[in-house]
């Protein structure tokens, strides 16, 4: 029996931040030892909101280098660029034709992003959960590692494939495999440094709200010193009235590798003036080896291209098989 397969990806827009690392990439590094991992740069999703065309390709290579610098091993994981495999777009169109409109109208993330974009909301933003379903189902993974905020999209993916299989397959012979979500608990939702009730995000206009993985030590110290805190002395977990305290303590717990109990005991009598430099020092120590590997990888474009080329070839072979099954079930003729 081969390894179970997992699949996940991140949009290549701007620099990846600490939330991307702790909520996703660090988990992928651990999972690749046990699973057949397919990890991609979701550049088709990157254009569902206003983007800089001059930066898209460069940002894609930056994300690939970050994956590798964080410990993703190309011998254990398949790393590829979404737009390099046209089957993503083609399967998304086929799924569009079986997905009821009201399924998409209830998607929470679309509603949140639509408010921000106003009249600039595109069909792509509305429809991107269907493309996400195609991304996942092309590789027929057993599990999809996601944070709690993406669980709704995986459930929609399951709804779409179940509907497709019901209409064009059978219980005995489903056309496409149905995946399960793998919800990552610890560190899966890193919050903003300026608002402990909001998720750390690349789209936040304030750079002070996040720690980018390539931030130099002096900038990390500056951001942590200025991050939002409260006037209460003594730090504690699980107080709903202190969301920033919860977020910063959780970051320290994960980055230092300590248990929740030991951190709670260590920080119980601390003030912010003592804790923030400790947190910043711990962040710098964690990110230093990643940053050194990242700089070396970015200086070797030929190596990055070879990794992405090999990843595309492996991923495309699987994607085309799934696409062929879907098209055959729908009644399409085979290309001559």
Catalytic residues: 113, 199, 202
- Alpha-carbon distance of 69 to 62, in angstroms, equals 10
Closest CA to 330 of 135, 141, 140, 96: 96
What's the sign of the alpha-carbon dihedral 309, 314, 320, 323?
negative
Contact criterion met (CB below 8 Å) for 297 and 74: no
> Whose structure tokens read 């990806």?
9
Q: Number of helices and strands (H, E) in the chain? A: 13, 5
C-alpha distance from residue 250 to each of 99, 247, 255, 279 (Å):
39, 5, 9, 10
Question: In this structure, what is the dihedral angle of CA atoms 129, 93, 4, 144, given to the nearest 10 degrees?
Answer: 0
- Alpha-carbon distance of 26 to 327, in angstroms, equals 36
Q: Locate the DSSP E strands across the chain.
A: 5-10, 36-41, 77-81, 143-146, 180-183
- Alpha-carbon distance of 282 to 310, in angstroms, equals 36
Q: Which residues of 122-131 are buried (b: 16+ CB within 10 A; e: fewer)?
A: eeebbbbbbb
C-alpha distance from residue 214 to each of 23, 142, 294 (Å):
17, 33, 8
- Which residues does 41 contact at the CB level (< 8 Å), separation at least 6? 9, 10, 11, 12, 60, 63, 64, 80, 81, 82
């Amino acid at each position: 029996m081969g390894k179970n397969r997992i699949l996940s990806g991140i949009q290549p827009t701007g620099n990846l931040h600490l939330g991307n690392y702790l909520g996703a990439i660090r988990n992928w590094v651990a999972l690749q030892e046990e699973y057949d991992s397919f990890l991609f740069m979701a550049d088709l999703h990157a254009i569902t909101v206003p983007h800089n065309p001059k930066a898209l390709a460069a940002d894609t290579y930056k994300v690939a280098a970050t994956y590798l610098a964080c410990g993703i091993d190309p011998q254990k994981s398949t790393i590829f660029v979404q737009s390099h495999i046209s089957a993503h777009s083609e399967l998304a169109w086929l799924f569009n034709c079986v997905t009821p409109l009201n399924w998409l109208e209830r998607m929470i993330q679309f509603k949140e992003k639509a408010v921000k974009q106003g009249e600039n909301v595109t069909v792509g933003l509305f429809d991107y959960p269907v493309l996400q379903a195609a991304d996942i189902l092309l590789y027929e993974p057993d599990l999809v590692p996601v944070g709690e905020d993406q669980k709704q999209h995986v459930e929609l993916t399951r709804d779409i494939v179940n509907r497709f299989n019901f209409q064009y397959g059978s219980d005995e012979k489903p056309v496409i495999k149905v995946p399960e979500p793998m919800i990552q608990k610890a560190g899966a939702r890193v919050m903003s440094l300026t608002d402990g009730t909001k998720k750390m995000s690349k789209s936040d206009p304030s750079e002070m709200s996040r720690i980018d993985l390539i931030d130099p030590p002096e900038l990390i110290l500056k951001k942590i010193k200025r991050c939002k805190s409260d006037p209460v002395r003594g730090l504690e977990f699980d107080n709903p009235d202190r969301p920033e305290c919860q977020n910063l303590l959780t970051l320290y717990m994960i980055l230092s590798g300590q248990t929740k109990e030991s951190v709670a005991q260590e920080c119980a009598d601390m003030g912010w003036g003592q804790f923030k430099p400790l947190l910043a020092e711990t962040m710098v120590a964690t990110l230093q080896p990643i940053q050194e590997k990242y700089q070396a990888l970015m200086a070797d474009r030929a190596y990055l291209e070879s990794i992405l080329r090999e990843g595309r070839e492996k991923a495309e072979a699987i994607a085309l098989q799934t696409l062929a099954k879907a098209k055959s079930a729908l009644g399409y003729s085979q290309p001559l």
